[in-house]
Structure 1
Amino acid sequence: MYIPAALWQRLSKSKFRSRFRLNTKDKNYAKIKGITIIEQHALNFIQKRLAPAIITNDGKQTPMRGHPVFVAQHATATCCRSCLEKWHHFPQHQKLNAKQIQYIQTVIMFWINQQDCF
């Protein structure tokens, strides 16, 4: 799946987004679980926390740490529906479709792979 280079340029210019890195604990967790399990976790988090049209706790549903995917979501602006709208142009209050879900998972996993976990 294609990820626009312009997205990475914009994210790198954001002081907030560009400060995220996986810590040693997160890297070790990713190495132990492996890429397939981390991909499954990402998909599960996206489906449960981002895909619904209405999210009662939007903006607060993704912790800042505690799992490599959570860190990646903040680094890639895929952490909540408002960030998805601002950074990725996915309208709020509409259920995400399969293509959008796949795109988000791809963005998250690309970022995690850049962190030298696997």
Structure 2
Amino acid sequence: MSDSLDQRLAAIARHPFRAKFHLRGRDLATAELSGPSTMRWYAYDVIAKRLAPAEPRKDGKQTPYRGHPVFVAQHATATCCRTCLERWHQIPKGRELTRAERTYAVDVICRWIEREVADGARPGP
């Protein structure tokens, strides 16, 4: 599964807007200190509240750009709104997300965070 997620993330990262997003500073520290299970729990909660409804409140503007690693990851992975989910992940708008779709979105977000934490932990040149 991680190979297909990595391929999807690589394709999304080629888009200039998506490629700009990386975990830095406080967001990177939060991800490192909180750990993968906390990030997963938070991602699932965010997806359930802000993305899973058929017509999310303020869709297209519901995800902040900063303030938590999950928010940054949502923009980097095109899981920030229903329009992006449809365009990049072929998950249609206008209906509630299934459990499998919620899990998929969380998996994409968490894989991106995992990769960013690994990259952030590497010493620079």
What TM-score, normalized to structure 2?
A: 0.87
Displacement of 1:9: 3.4
Q: Which amino acid aligns with 1:18?
A: A
User: Partner of 1:85 in structure 2?
Assistant: 86
User: Partner of 1:41 in structure 2?
Assistant: 42
Post-superposition Cα deviations, 1:20-42, rounded to whole Å, max 9, x if no partner, equal 00012111111222211111000
DSSP-derived class of the 1:105 partner: helix
Whether the 8 Å contact between 2:50 and 2:57 is mirrored in structure 1 is no
What TM-score, normalized to structure 1?
A: 0.92
In the alignment, the residues of structure 1 paired with residue 5 and residue 40 of structure 2 have an alpha-carbon distance, to the nearest angstrom, of 20
User: Partner of 1:60 in structure 2?
Assistant: 61
Post-superposition Cα deviations, 1:29-60, rounded to whole Å, max 9, x if no partner, equal 11222211111000000000000001231100
User: Partner of 2:103 in structure 1?
Assistant: 102
Where does 1:23-34 land on structure 2 (aligned, <5 Å)? 23-34=24-35
Larger mean Cα displacement after TM superposition, 42-51 or 28-37: 28-37
In the alignment, the residues of structure 2 paired with residue 79 and residue 54 of structure 1 have an alpha-carbon distance, to the nearest angstrom, of 14
Displacement of 1:6: 4.5
Residue 10 (1) aligns with residue 6 (2): no
Displacement of 1:10: 2.3
Displacement of 1:4: 4.8
Gaps of 5+ in 1: none
Gaps of 5+ in 2: none
Whether the 8 Å contact between 2:54 and 2:94 is mirrored in structure 1 is yes
In the alignment, the residues of structure 2 paired with residue 39 and residue 57 of structure 1 have an alpha-carbon distance, to the nearest angstrom, of 23
In the alignment, the residues of structure 2 paired with residue 93 and residue 68 of structure 1 have an alpha-carbon distance, to the nearest angstrom, of 27
Displacement of 1:5: 5.0
RMSD: 1.6
